[in-house]
Amino acid sequence: MSDTSGVALVEEWQTGAFLLVGSVVIGVILAGIGGSVSGQIAAVGGFILGPIVGFLVLSYLLYGK
């Protein structure tokens, strides 16, 4: 059995959920911006690349280098 407490486990799950939801929100925002500025191809690109970039940025902000 692992030696993490229940509180630590919940905090890890909350952080993971924040990263997941935040990444999706950033992707939707970038897709909306790309779609309104450059059309459908930019919207798809923003929806695909947005969550990846969002995850990397949020991970860097939460965990550092």
Average confidence (pLDDT) per 10 residues, the chain, 65 residues: 76 89 90 88 88 89 81
The answer as to whether 43 is a domain residue is yes
What is the pTM (predicted TM-score) of this model?
A: 0.75
What is the domain count for the chain?
1
Domain encompassing residue 49: 17-63
Type of residue found at 58: L
Burial 18-46 (b: 16+ CB within 10 A, else e): ebeebbeebbeebbeebbeeeeeebbeeb
Type of residue numbered 40: Q
pLDDT at 21: 92
Q: Is residue 56 part of a domain?
A: yes
> In this predicted model, what pLDDT tens digit does every residue of 27-45 receive, in sequence order?
899 889 988 988 888 889 8
